[in-house]
Amino acid sequence: MYKQVEESQTLLINTQSKILAEQNRKIIKFGFGQSPFLPPKNVLIALEKAVHHKEYSSVQGDPELRELMSEFHKQHNGLKVDSNNILLAPGSKILIFNILLAFEKADVFIPAPAWVSYAPQTKLAGHNMIRLNTTYKERWRVSSKSINEAVQFKQYRDSILILNYPGNPDGLTYEEDELIELANIAKSLNILVIADEIYGLLNHSNSHHSFANYYPERTITTTGLSKWCGAGGWRLGAAFLYNNIEPALKQALIGIGSETYSCAPTPIQIAAKTAYKNYGELTSYLDYQIQILKEIGNFCADRLNSSDIRVHSPQGGFYIFPDFSLLKEKLNNRGISTSKQLCELLLVETGVAMLPASAFGLDEEYLAARLAYVDFKEPEGRDEFNLHKHGPNIIEGIENICNWVKKT
């Protein structure tokens, strides 16, 4: 017997869009979450120079890079984790999975909506998944109330909460008082928190607060190069363990890493040192991206809202989560009753690719979708961004959606 594991919906939409594009259909790529920004020039040059480093690195990763990352995140997010407690790996996805694997049996609290891979990973690791439901009105945020309500479904001693902000699929973050409230309940229930802060450096107001600042006792923070550096294919992720981590848990994480991926790619680790070494250069590169992402995100949200597709303006990263509930009756009349049907029809009839809300854990009938506003070009030489010049597909895609719902 085989395990039933389908291809991740994020990667699937990429494949489907490519197939349609090969048939000469114009596809507006709002499906896959990857920004077009190239890594900083000095990092690209460093990588070219590092190609001959073909040797394996240690499982935990290059000590100098870990030290630089520790220093950078201390200065930038107040994240105080000793470099000895940082693990590097080929992407943060495998680190999140390995953290789950390090537990025999656990209850894993996952918000709905939340990134597509947490649920399958939890299932593969053999744990009990408990969804924390949220609503549009709650800005898709979990609270101590939702955790308290979900605790009755616990089966095991160990509890893990996966918290991701700025969020995929909603682009929203938590206010400081909300983080304090969540930290307090996590502490009182002795929950291990995986704070997935992969979009932290893309907070649109440059004010990302790491969860570990509020709950240093048991927060593992994950991050990496994939989003802020636009380099998902480079595969470099990091887990910042809490400083007083149980030795058996740290040992299990290093052990599982050694039996699965062995190490993060050596040349990429060398190139990444250049990025984290130059605080001023890195933050000015981030500021430039943030300003563009913020402009595009707000444009998309404003235009959609004006067409009765309600959506919260994003606070970080490059996603929004348009909610078509106000148009439910109209859409039902057209035979659209699930978010999957909504996305399939939108793709076929308008060429706009998005991911259905059901992929993120919402009920199939909930009519919402994730829109990744990444179908634009990075201006050359850090020139000024102009939406008409650099992002015509963004305008066209949003107009297509608005016109399409008007028709229904």
Interface positions with ligand PMP (CB under 6 A): 33, 91-93, 115, 164, 168, 196, 198, 224, 226, 232, 237
Are the C-beta atoms of 93 and 224 separated by less than 8 Å?
no
Whether residue 36 has a cis bond before it, omega within 30° of 0: no
User: Which CB, 33 or 200, lies closer to ligand GLU?
Assistant: 33
Which of ligand PMP, ligand GLU, none sits in contact with 32, Cβ below 5 to 8 A by type?
ligand GLU
For the bound state, the minimum distance from the C-beta of residue 94 to ligand PMP, rounded and expressed in Å, comes to: 7
Q: Using CA atoms, how far apart are residues 383 and 291, in angstroms rounded to an integer? A: 12
Give the tokens for residue 22. 């090969």
* Per CB under 6 A, 314 contacts ligand GLU: no
| Alpha carbons within 13 A on the beta-carbon side of 348 | 6
Residue 5 to residues 67, 100, 120, 121, 382, Cα–Cα distance (Å): 37, 17, 8, 10, 42
CB 44 within 8 A of CB 267: no
Contact pattern for ligand GLU over residues 194 through 223, marking x by CB under 6 A: ------------------------------
In the bound complex, what is the minimum distance in angstroms from residue 164's beta carbon to ligand PMP? 5
Decide: is 29 part of the binding site for ligand GLU (CB under 6 A).
no
Whichever of 162 and 331 has its CB closer to ligand PMP, that residue is 162
Tokens of 244: 């007083």
Whole-angstrom CA distances from 181 to 7, 26, 79 are 36, 46, 19
**Shortest distance (Å) from residue 265 CB to ligand GLU:** 16
Subset of residues 150 to 179 that bind ligand GLU, contact rule: CB under 6 A: 168
Which residues within the stretch 55-114 sit at the binding site for ligand GLU (CB under 6 A)? 93
Total residues in contact with ligand GLU, by rule CB under 6 A? 9
Strand positions, DSSP E, 243-334: 319-320
359 and 19 Cβ atoms separated by less than 8 Å: no
* Beta carbon nearer to ligand PMP, 164 or 350: 164
Answer with the entry of ligand GLU, ligand PMP, none that 164 interacts with (C-beta below 5 to 8 A by kind).
Answer: ligand PMP
Tell me, what DSSP letter sits at residue 193? E
Which residue type, as a one-letter code, is found at position 171?
A: G
- Among ligand PMP, ligand GLU, none, residue 267 binds (CB under 5-8 Å by kind): none
Q: Of ligand PMP, ligand GLU, none, which one sits near residue 62, judging by CB under 5 to 8 A according to partner kind?
A: none
* Residue 8 binds which entry of ligand PMP, ligand GLU, none, CB below 5-8 Å type-dependent: ligand GLU
Q: What are the angstrom distances between the C-alpha of 40 and each of 57, 177, 288, 369? A: 24, 35, 11, 32
Angstrom CA distances, 348 to 26, 27, 53, 63, 308, stand at: 10, 9, 46, 49, 22
Identity of the residue, 81 or 239, whose beta carbon is nearer to ligand GLU in the bound complex = 239
CB of 258 to ligand PMP, least distance (A): 19
> Would you say 32 or 174 has its CB closer to ligand GLU?
32
Instruction: Pick what 242 binds: ligand GLU, ligand PMP, none; C-beta below 5 to 8 Å, kind-dependent.
Output: none
Kindly state whether residue 32 participates in binding ligand GLU, applying the rule CB under 6 A: yes
Hey, CA dihedral for 388, 392, 394, 396, is it positive or negative? positive
Residues engaged in binding ligand GLU (CB under 6 A): 8, 10, 32-33, 93, 115, 117, 168, 232
